[in-house]
Structure 1
Amino acid sequence: MQLRNQWLILTMLTVFLTAGSALGADVAKIGVVEFQRLFENSDAGKEIKAEITEKGKKMEAELKEKGAEIEELKKRLEREALVMSKEMREEKEREFRIKVNDIKTLQKKYEAELQGIQKRLMKDLQEETLEVIDEIGKSGGYLMIMDKRGVLYSPSTIDITDEVIKKFNQRYAKKEKK
């Protein structure tokens, strides 16, 4: 009986202590960040997009130029095919196929190069963004800050993307001045 009373008292004490600490605890502060919006609206993100677009246009112009050369070669081959010997025609057709394959290889190389540039620049942006988010999390007393893509629902009141963009742009401006 005495053991039962002790357990009852211990259980009640545990419940009151747990309930008291739960009621007195601060509300957990949670935030979400939408990285796509950060990329599109931050100064660094806009700069990355512009750089990738510029490089892509240069590569595209070069590919178009080479494509026009191949098209001209094809037309010349079709015009002169009737007056060429069979061996000469086969040689020119082989040269034409080699040039077509060269341009396809160049196109794949450019695509891989652009993807590599984008991946490198985005990695740098993401690392800097995570540092800013870490600062905001610590200074703002957040329990957790998550990527919006992993969240099925969140009220707009916990979206801190605009705050992250603002601090990131401030940090980026200071970095650019140096």
Structure 2
Amino acid sequence: MKRLWMVLVVGIGLLLPAMAQDPPQIVVFDSSIVFDKSQQGEVLKAEIERLRDRKVQLISERQDGLASMQEEFRNKELTFNDDTRSEMLQTINQAQIELKRLNDDAQRELQAEFNRAQQKLQKQLIQVVEALGQEGNYTLIVEKGLTLYSSAEVDITDRVLAKFDEMYPNTAGSGGGQ
């Protein structure tokens, strides 16, 4: 019995200082908003869009070339001898293969560029959240998408966005931000 009382007294003694401390501060933020609205996010998004536009233009030019070859073949098919017809079909087939390869390469390149940009932003965001956590004396900062519910009172997305732009201003040199 004495042992039980001793354990209770020691336990209460250990809990009292912990209870006297400030309550834990748990906050959330929405990383997708930070990625979309940050200066760095806007610059990287603009770079990816420019790359996509260049690829779309190149693919469109190749599609137009293929379409004109196919049209020429349809218009003159009856006048071709067998060898010419075979060569023309082979050229069209090769152009179709090259167009498909170009399209696949463009998709892979765009996906790789998107992944690179996302990884860069993710690394920066981790540093921002750590700095903000220390400055704000937060106990826990959670990504909003990982929570089932959070009150608007604990949402610090605007603060994370402001800190992100403070720590990583638009330095990409392309001037894609607003």
Say if 2:65 is the partner of 1:87. no
Q: How is 1:154-169 mapped onto 2 (pairs within 5 angstroms)?
A: 154-169=150-165
Say if 2:25 is the partner of 1:35. no
Partner in structure 1 of residue 94 of structure 2: 98
How many angstroms apart in 1 are the aligned matches of 2:120 and 2:11? 49
Partner in structure 1 of residue 47 of structure 2: 51
The structure that has the greater radius of gyration is 1
Partner of 1:81, secondary structure, is helix
Choose from 115, 119, 123 the match for 2:115: 119
Partner in structure 2 of residue 74 of structure 1: 70
Identity value in percent: 24
Per-residue Cα deviation, 1:30-85 (whole angstroms, up to 9, x for no partner) = 12121111111111111111111111011101111110010000000011110111
User: What CA RMSD, in Å, does the superposition of the two structures yield over aligned residues?
Assistant: 1.8
How many angstroms apart in 2 are the aligned matches of 1:128 and 1:42? 11
Partner of 2:100, secondary structure, is helix
Say if 2:144 is the partner of 1:148. yes
- Gap runs ≥5 in structure 1: none
Partner of 1:146, secondary structure, is strand
Partner of 1:32, secondary structure, is strand
Give the C-alpha shift of residue 99 in structure 1.
Answer: 0.3
Give the C-alpha shift of residue 116 in structure 1.
Answer: 1.0
Which piece of structure 1 moves more, 115-124 or 7-16? 7-16
Per-residue Cα deviation, 1:95-150 (whole angstroms, up to 9, x for no partner) = 10110110110011011111111111221111111111110111111111111111
Which piece of structure 1 moves more, 113-122 or 101-110? 113-122
How many angstroms apart in 1 are the aligned matches of 2:136 and 2:129? 10
How many angstroms apart in 1 are the aligned matches of 2:128 and 2:4? 50
Aligned length, in residue pairs: 173
Partner of 1:31, secondary structure, is strand
How many angstroms apart in 1 are the aligned matches of 2:94 and 2:169? 49
Give the C-alpha shift of residue 8 in structure 1.
Answer: 3.6
Give the TM-score of the pair, scaled to structure 2: 0.89
